[in-house]
Chains A and B, each alone.
Chain A
Amino acid sequence: MLHAGQIPDPFVGSRAVPLYQTTSYVFKSADEAAHLFELKQYGNIYSRISNPTTAVLEERVASLEGGTGAVAVASGMAAEFGTFMTLCSPGDHIVASNQLYGGSMTMLAHTFKKLGIEVTFVDPGNTDEWEPAIQKNTRALFVETIGNPINSIPDLSALGKISKYHTIPLVVDSTFATPYLCRPIEWGATIVTHSATKFIGGHGTSIGGIVVDSGDFDFSGFPTIADPSPSYHGMRFFDTFGHYAFLTKLRAETIRDTGACISPTNSFNLIQGLETLSVRMDRHVANALAVATFLEQHPKVQKVHYAGLESHPHHDRAKKYLPKGAGAVMSFELSDTLPNVRESGKNFIEGLELFSHLANVGDAKSLVIHPASTTHQQMSDEELIAGRITPGMIRLSIGLETTDDLLWDLDKALELA
Chain B
Amino acid sequence: MANLTCDIRLNSKLTPEQREKYQNIQTVQDILKSSKTIAIVGLSTESTKASNMVASYLQDEGFTIVPVHPKASEILGEKCYPSVADIPFPVDLVDIFRPPHEIPEIVEQSIKNGAKAIWTQLKIVNFEGADLAQAHGLNVVLDKCIKMEHGRFGGMLHWAGMNTELISAKRRAV
Contacts and interface: CB of A to CB of B under 8 A. Distances in A.
B155 A7 contact: yes
Interface stretch (B52-60, B85-93, B130-138): B52-60
Contacts of A44: 159
Interface string A231-245: 011111001111110
Interface in B153-174: 155-174
A55 interface: yes
Contacts of A7: 2, 155, 166-168, 170-172
A68 B48 CA distance: 23
Interface stretch (A30-38, A134-142, A298-306, A386-394): A30-38
6 contacts: A3-B169, A7-B155, A8-B169, A55-B161, A62-B163, A69-B163
Contacts of B26: none
Top 7 A-B pairs, shortest CB-CB distance: A58-B161, A42-B156, A235-B48, A62-B163, A243-B11, A69-B162, A10-B174
Given A58-B161, A62-B162, A68-B163, A242 B11 contact: yes
B14 interface: no
Nearest to B51: A240
B72 interface: no
B49 interface: yes
A50 interface: yes
A8 B170 contact: yes
Contacts of B151: 42
Interface string A372-415: 00000000000000000000000000000000000000000000
A251 interface: yes
* Most chain A beta-carbon contacts within 10 A, residue among B9, B48, B163: B163
A63 B156 contact: no
Given A42-B156, A215-B9, A232-B48, A59 B164 contact: yes
Nearest to A218: B11
Interface in A6-29: 7-11, 13
A216 B155 CA distance: 23
Interface in B38-83: 47-50, 53, 56-57, 60
Contacts of B173: 10
B60 A31 contact: yes
A32 to B, nearest CB: 7
Contacts of A70: 161, 163
B104 to A, nearest CB: 24
Interface of A: 3-5, 7-11, 13, 31-32, 35, 38-44, 50, 52, 54-55, 58-59, 62-63, 67-72, 215-216, 232-236, 239-244, 247-248, 251
Interface in B128-147: 145
Contacts of B159: 42-44, 50, 52, 55
Contacts of A42: 57, 151, 156-157, 159-160
Given A50-B160, A52-B159, A69-B163, A8 B171 contact: yes
Contacts of A236: 48
B57 to A, nearest CB: 6
B123 interface: yes
A5 B158 contact: yes
B60 A62 contact: no
Given A38-B47, A40-B53, A10 B162 contact: no
Nearest to A71: B161
Given A40-B57, A233-B48, A69 B172 contact: no
A242 B9 contact: no
Nearest to B174: A10
A121 B122 CA distance: 38
B161 A62 contact: yes
A36 B60 CA distance: 11
Contacts of A32: 60
Interface in B1-60: 2, 9-11, 47-50, 53, 56-57, 60
A68 B9 contact: yes
Contact of A39 (B49, B53, B60, B174): B53
Contacts of A41: 57, 60
A70 B9 CA distance: 15
A35 B171 contact: no
Contact of B172 (A9, A31, A39, A62): A9
A43 B156 CA distance: 7
Contacts of A62: 161-163
Contact of A10 (B164, B167, B171): B171
